[in-house]
Amino acid sequence: MDRITAPTLQIDGLSVSFATEAGRLQALRDVSFAVPKGRITGIVGESGCGKSTLINAILGLLADNGEVTSGAILLEGKQDLTRLSPREMRDLRGLRISTVFQDPMGALNPVLSVGRQMRDIQYRSGLTRKEKDARSVEMLRQVRIPDPEKRLTQYPHEFSGGMKQRVAIAMALMMRPALLIADEPTTALDATLEVATIELMKELQQQIGCAVLFISHHLGVIAELCDEMIVMYAGEVVEKGSVRQIFKGARHPYTQALLECDPARLHERVKRLPTIPGTLPDLKNRPQGCIFRDRCAKAGPECTAAPPDVELAPGHVARCWHAAGGAA
């Protein structure tokens, strides 16, 4: 593949399973997608759909009982992250791949000053202490923390939740990574802060030019922030495409149901919010064929066989027997 146009992150047929006492739990099955350079790709899915496992697999931080059983994770088209040694993987984390987590309250070490933590992040930069502090101040200013010089000497508890999340974003972008993984970074914030944080992330992403993998279960945030999106269900990518393609013409029954359940899309008052009937399948005894079959209104006899990935338009793929032919 040409290196210039190679996506920042490309995942091919990734499967991950965990050895549990009750047997093997297949958390991810045949996951493939790409995060193009300089763009924001969103992942949606309900709790337990494998989002966190996916992040940990990319970061090389799967729990001891977890294992990548097949597939490849290519960073910038050259390195397969699944084949790197723990040491090589550690050298990439924080430098080429950065992460922002959900809980801004806990993401900073409570016993160290913010300045010390921002300095520590730059330990691979070879800069002097003074230069590091200057860069920290610069980054804090970019994430709009007022009075950054004074703020460096303060401790995390002296910051508000929104500020801590902005500090975490500043720290993640400090080393100008190629890929930023944002794991529901706005979920713990209130609505006004959420909008402000999203604006900020978009702005910084354009400045730095990194690719972003943005995990959220909030469809509105995905629509607002992302270019591409990936819909996950029970460890599988059921549909992927540009945000426009999916919001205008979702073809997988699960995506359609998900969009219908979004309260923001309701235009009239309802007695009960819509839900998808049924629960996630047992991943220890993953059913053959379509993973969504049991909860799908359109399920037929063909769904007992594994559904194909149907390309509906360039970049728009749905894993469903009914996706083609418009009969979905």
Binding stretches for another protein (CB under 8 A): 59, 61, 64, 90-95, 98-99, 101-103, 105-112, 120-121, 124, 168, 171-172, 181
Complex with another protein: residue 53 or 102, whichever CB lies closer: 102
Complex with another protein: residue 95 or 196, whichever CB lies closer: 95
Residues 170-191, buried b or exposed e (16+ Cβ, 10 A)?
bbbbbbebbbbbbbbbbebbee
CA distance 104 to 187: 10
User: Least Å distance between CB 265 and another protein?
Assistant: 32
User: Least Å distance between CB 252 and another protein?
Assistant: 31
CA 219 vs. chain centroid, Å, equals 13
User: Least Å distance between CB 105 and another protein?
Assistant: 8
Complex with another protein: residue 105 or 276, whichever CB lies closer: 105
Complex with another protein: residue 56 or 70, whichever CB lies closer: 56
Which residues contact residue 119 at a Cβ distance below 8 angstroms, ignoring those fewer than 6 apart? 129, 132, 133, 136
CA distance 273 to 263: 7
The beta strands (E) that lie in the chain are given as 9-20, 23-35, 40-44, 66-75, 79-80, 97-100, 179-183, 211-215, 228-233, 236-242, 309-313, 316-319
User: Least Å distance between CB 83 and another protein?
Assistant: 18
User: Least Å distance between CB 182 and another protein?
Assistant: 12
Complex with another protein: residue 59 or 232, whichever CB lies closer: 59
